[in-house]
Amino acid sequence: MNAPSPVLSLRGIRKAFPGVIALDGVDLDLQAGEVHVLLGENGAGKSTLMKIISGAVARDSGDIVIEGVPVELTGPRHAQELGIGIIYQEFNLVPHLTAAENILLGREPKLFPGVIDQRRLVREAQQQLDDLGVALAATERVSRLSVAQQQMVEVAKALSLNARVLIMDEPTSALTTQEITELFDAIRRLKKRGVAIVYISHRMEELFAIGDRVTVLRDGRHVGTRAIGETTMTELVRLMVGRDLTEHFPKRQAAIGEEILRVEALRRNGILHDVSLSLRRGEVVGLAGLMGSGRTELARAIFGADRIDGGQIFVHGKPCAVRSPRDAIALGIGFLTEDRKQQGLVLVLSVQENICLPSVSRLARAGCTQPARETEMTAQRIAELRIKTPGPHQRVMNLSGGNQQKVVLAKWLCTEADILIFDEPTRGIDVGSKVEIYQLINQLAARGAAILMISSELPEIVGLSDRILVMNGGRIAGEFTAAEATQEKLLAAALGKN
């Protein structure tokens, strides 16, 4: 029996940008009713390929065939008309409108010209949400919805356009375990309806839970397609990075020294409640907890990004007033934020300008910048962190997510901070880059830095930390040594079950 024709076929897709070949002869087939996982390191070409499929970027050469018919995509609207939908990590929703208004935006049913049929609008949008199995009222304003609910509104919007191909880019990056389960249930319903789903994720364990086939890209080339049941995580990692990663969490033997940071009874009304902690030289302290537990709020308070209503911060044993990030930087504190695009980078500036930004005053002489010194320092960090960029003057907005993350890291390394707060340092980056960042964390600790690492990935917390603190409701709900910590114990503390 012949295999069914693919709903979408790509043949020899090529795309080049100035100084970079993003895609070099990539092939991909999608079958109706399958979840096809797309894997690859940051910069492998995944996002460019998806933008080509969705009509946002024009290919240089190659063929796109939809259900046996060659097509020339003229833009995103044309792709939508052909049944191709895409859900980006950054949602494309209007917050002050309702779910129904977002789902049918621009296609609202009319009573007569200029007047929207509100009842029909709500009824049709609610039907889309109900078909997904989502317990959500279509009349709810989007700004009041959780990230998971907003994601379902995006899915419903795509399906209302009769999408036959749905691209999901890192759909679980900001979801809780329960929300991921609900998303997977919705994906299985879509499969039964015959929708072909392209699923992009750096969480390797997810592809074995939801995928049917997996395609791996490396350096813009197709290096393999496998049925999920016929491959292993080890093989896929090898295909992604071109080598074996013998240790996912590299071991280290850093000497832990004197206390360098102490926080006593830190309070922010309604958010943080008498939080106390300490960091010592050479120590990695993991900070775990569910979303909304106060982890990021604590980091921002220590860094001076948010005000505090009580408590004291000590650096090198001396009480310090940290009223702003400028104060924190002067005290040798660096903060790698969770949202690199909004808070960690100036996207329109170059790699060099971003890397040197917090160190401008230190690098200046007699009030004047020293371009040669900045160039030398940037080149050193690009080489050390293996940042993939055509050069130091490339705009950061043109780099892949993983390389943007490395630029943020480079920025704080240049300040020579000895207290570093990493908030979700590996979110949205590939397994090879993750290991590189783990190695860097170990190197920083070995040099005597004190590191507070926030992560939603419990294996990461357990694998890297010397001590682990768990937050719940704005309080420290548990503390564990590396030897006694397990994922089960951390989750119990995060849920307040200790």
- Does 263 fall in a domain? yes
**Helix 177-192 to helix 147-160 angle, to the nearest 10 degrees?**
10
Residues 208 and 263 in one domain: no
**pLDDT for 401:** 74
Contacts 24+ apart (CB under 8 A), 79-84: 79/53, 79/54, 79/55, 80/55, 80/161, 80/163, 83/161, 83/162, 83/163, 83/164, 83/165, 84/8, 84/53, 84/54, 84/55, 84/163, 84/164, 84/165, 84/167
- Does 87 fall in a domain? yes
Cβ–Cβ under 8 Å, residues 45 and 26: yes
Residues 177 and 300 in one domain: no
Strands 115-116 and 110-112: antiparallel
Q: What are the φ and ψ backbone dihedral angles of 400, each rounded to 5 degrees?
A: -70, 165
> In total, how many domains does the chain have?
2
Mean per-residue pLDDT pooled into runs of 10, the chain (498 residues): 78 87 92 92 83 93 93 92 86 89 90 88 92 88 87 87 88 76 88 92 83 92 93 84 60 80 94 94 91 88 93 94 91 86 84 85 68 86 86 87 84 87 82 80 89 88 91 92 86 76
**pLDDT for 198:** 94
Global pTM reads 0.63
Residues 6 or more apart whose CB falls under 8 angstroms from that of 93 comprise 102, 142, 150, 153, 154
Residues 232 and 370 in one domain: no
Residues 206 and 311 in one domain: no
Spatial separation of the C-alpha atoms in residues 218 and 414, rounded to whole Å = 30
Last residue of a domain, one of 211, 241, 271: 241
Residues 303 and 351 in one domain: yes
- Does 1 fall in a domain? no
Last residue of a domain, one of 241, 271, 301: 241
Cβ–Cβ under 8 Å, residues 405 and 429: yes
Residues 271 and 220 in one domain: no
**pLDDT for 248:** 63
Strands 467-472 and 284-288: parallel
- Does 482 fall in a domain? yes
Spatial separation of the C-alpha atoms in residues 156 and 158, rounded to whole Å = 5
Q: How many residues does the chain have?
A: 498
Spatial separation of the C-alpha atoms in residues 351 and 447, rounded to whole Å = 25
Q: Which residues pair with 478 in a beta bridge?
A: 470
- Does 250 fall in a domain? no
CA distances for 477 relative to 17, 290, 462, 474, angstroms? 49, 12, 17, 9
Residues 6 or more apart whose CB falls under 8 angstroms from that of 474 comprise 268, 270, 271, 272, 273, 275, 293, 294, 297
Residues 438 and 387 in one domain: yes
* Structural domain harbouring 115: 8-241
Spatial separation of the C-alpha atoms in residues 342 and 89, rounded to whole Å = 13
Residues 62, 68, 70, 71, Cα dihedral to 10°? -110
Spatial separation of the C-alpha atoms in residues 350 and 345, rounded to whole Å = 10
Instruction: Give me the CATH number covering residue 289.
Output: 3.40.50.300
Residues 12 and 81 in one domain: yes
Last residue of a domain, one of 210, 241, 272: 241
**pLDDT for 370:** 75
CB atoms near residue 226 (< 10 Å): 18
**pLDDT for 1:** 45
Helix runs in 193-313, H state only: 204-210, 233-241, 295-303
Residues 301 and 217 in one domain: no
Dihedral (CA of 49, 54, 56, 59) sign: positive
Identify residue 2 by its one-letter amino acid code. N
- Does 83 fall in a domain? yes
**pLDDT for 447:** 87
SS3 of residue 164 by DSSP:
coil
